[in-house]
A and B are shown apart, each in its own frame.
Chain A
Amino acid sequence: MLENYLPILIFLAIGLAVGGGAMAAGFLLGPHRPDAEKNSPYECGFEAFEDARMKFDVRYYLVAILFIIFDLEIAFLFPWAVVLGEIGMFGFLAMVLFLGILVVGFIYEWKKGALEWE
């Protein structure tokens, strides 16, 4: 059972090796002539000022929080979907209730304007 997962582990290692190998080749074969201007962050023609890790819009943060809720919901739906054929109408109605609660929250955040980007 678990040995079926061995190829996946090896594949992940090979995936890393492909990326790592390509970048190592780039480091070895490419020239190295750094100077202060070349290594400064990209800007539109003037010298970079302030730290680039500046404040950002709170809505990105909100999207991340909403994402966690919905993604958890999907994680709950996965096992339910596999066995729905066996648990029948009762299982279906239970999930309708569960999804109903989520939809109420979804409508609330919609009305509150959490999904607006203007």
Chain B
Amino acid sequence: MIESLWGALPEALQTTIVIVAKIVAIVVPLMLTVAYYTLAERKVIGFMQVRIGPNRVGPRGLLQPIADAVKLMFKEIILPTNANRFLFVGAPLLSIAPALAAWAVIPFNETWVLADIDASLLYILALTSFGVYGVIIAGWASNSKYALLGAMRSAAQMVAYEIAMGFALVGVLLAGGSLNLGDIVQAQSGSILHWFWLPLFPLMMVYLISGVAETNRAPFDVAEGESEIVAGFHVEYSGMTFAVFFLAEYANMILIAALTSLLFFGGWLSPFQGVPLLGEPSLFWFLLKTAFFMFCFLWFRATFPRYRYDQIMRLGWKVFIPITIVWLLVVGLAVVVELPWWFD
């Protein structure tokens, strides 16, 4: 019955339905992860500060993210009088769409990738750069001083760290010799010492720290520093419009964690490669590594005090960019002379 119905559909429609089903299979777990990442954040930071964290809604507070989502849904959405309404409503969309669509090229294991394109790293670079538009348009459209200041700060910080991030990606490209994320992971095959974190160690550090700065997370959260400019670019947003920004920020954090594990830590490859059973590459390793870097985001927030704005700009321009340029040349030379072990 179902099969004959399916066969009756035109081929183009069949392809589209399969693609949409795959996208839903990525987006739904991603959204659930975002929801429970917020709970994990509050719990982890709570325990690091010797508190319990949320524990009232549901057993051990497990329904807290659901309660938060429902609450936000029933809140009034305020459109400020002086705001440019079209851009004000459009800005959250510009934030969330790239944050989700970047997942199209993430390989979860050797075969599970939605769009196996050759330019996937370029695509990632393009989409992660896109996030800054949502921020600056939100700040400008709100027509509020705090929002504008937050947006300016945030945009300057994001573009500064984007350069360092881009240079780090070029280093990965040099080492991997391909723009395809799957090929980059395969190029790290061998053992834990073959993963790119070792030959590209400075670039890995720069990438991870820039990733924290890109997503405006503590200790680089001057853009939304609650105690300075109340919430930065999204101060005028309420209810679901705020929630969409929030979703985008957390989806971006998970994306950075996933990319760090793919580019520098062998993605789905096992750290015990060669050992029977335990050495098999699988989705499990990819998720484990991603979860570790997601935890790092929370750990950083609980540990480090906020940077001052001039310190942030100094770190981005005067420390990271020189480091990455020098290390690019080192890696380039290693690739040209085919340094044994990694680049032969």
Contact = CB atoms under 8 A, between A and B. Distances in A.
Contacts of B314: 115, 117
A56 B148 contact: yes
B96 A118 contact: no
Contacts of B114: 7, 11
Interface in B6-56: 15-16, 19-20, 22-24, 27, 31
A29 B80 contact: no
A84 B110 CA distance: 26
Chain A residues touching B, range:
35 or more
Contact of B148 (A8, A54, A67): A54
B144 A117 contact: no
A78 B20 contact: no
A33 B169 CA distance: 49
B285 interface: no
Given A23-B241, A30-B77, A18 B335 contact: no
Contacts of B73: 25-26, 29-30
24 contacts: A4-B117, A6-B15, A7-B115, A10-B19, A11-B100, A11-B101, A11-B103, A11-B114, A11-B115, A12-B97, A19-B247, A20-B93, A22-B240, A23-B92, A29-B73, A52-B147, A56-B149, A67-B159, A74-B167, A78-B122, A92-B336, A95-B332, A115-B318, A117-B313
A115 B23 contact: no
Interface in A21-77: 22-23, 25-27, 29-34, 36, 38-43, 48, 51-54, 56-57, 59-60, 63-64, 66-67, 70-71, 74, 77
Contacts of B72: 26
A71 B169 CA distance: 12
B221 interface: no
